[in-house]
């Protein structure tokens, strides 16, 4: 009987481990892309992600962005740059909580060329 309970616990732990955390599938702008303008910054996830923090930095430092998505877990997160982005290289950094409860973070870059 003890063995059966033990096997059940091992199986339950394995099942938790198998439920992989959400991953970024794609972004807008695409990672590494060169774009003329940025109307929206978008992160798409394979499973809902609660994005807790996001920042955009460029050639002149941090650029203010406005979240369009609140703190609910989503598969599509959107934020809007507060200004027209000048030419240069930009990096987006984000942190979030995966649907399996794991803290996640990611980064990607793109170039704006007018
Ligand atoms: Cu995970």
Do 22 and 104 contact (CB within 8 A), yes or no? yes
CA dist 85 and 46 (Å) reads 28
At residue 114 the predicted structure's pLDDT band, cuts being 50, 70 and 90, is confident
User: How far does the centroid of ligand 1 lie from the alpha carbon of residue 36, in Å?
Assistant: 35
**Cα 2 to middle of ligand 1, angstroms:** 29
Q: Choose between 18 and 98: higher pLDDT.
A: 98
Mean pLDDT computed over 35-61: 97
> Which CATH number applies to 21-112?
2.60.40.1220
What was the pLDDT predicted at 1? 55
Nearest to 75 by CA among 43, 40, 108: 43
How much distance in Å is there from the Cα of 61 to the middle of ligand 1?
32
Complete DSSP assignment for 44-77: EEEEEEEEEEEEEEETTEEE-EEESS-SS-EEEE
pLDDT tens per residue across span 55-87:
999 999 999 999 999 999 999 999 999 999 999
Between 9 and 92, residue with greater pLDDT: 92
CA 104 to ligand 1 center in whole angstroms: 8
The whole-angstrom separation of Cα 18 and Cα 21 is 9
- Its sign, for the CA torsion 80, 33, 98, 75, is positive
User: Tell me, what's the pLDDT at 39?
Assistant: 96
Cα-to-centroid distance, 90 and ligand 1 (Å): 28
For the entire predicted model, the pTM comes to 0.81
Q: Is the pLDDT score of 18 beyond 90?
A: no
Helix H or strand E encompassing 11? helix 2-18
């Amino acid at each position: 009987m003890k063995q059966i309970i033990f096997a059940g616990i091992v199986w339950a732990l394995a099942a938790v481990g198998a439920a992989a955390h959400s991953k970024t599938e794609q972004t807008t702008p695409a990672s590494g892309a060169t774009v003329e303008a940025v109307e929206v910054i978008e992160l798409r996830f394979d499973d809902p992600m609660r994005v807790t923090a996001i920042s955009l930095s460029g050639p002149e430092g941090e650029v203010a962005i406005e979240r369009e998505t609140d703190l609910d877990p989503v598969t599509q997160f959107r934020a809007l740059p507060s200004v027209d982005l000048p030419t240069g290289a930009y990096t987006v950094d984000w942190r979030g909580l995966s649907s399996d409860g794991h803290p996640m973070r990611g980064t990607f870059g793109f170039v704006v060329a007018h």
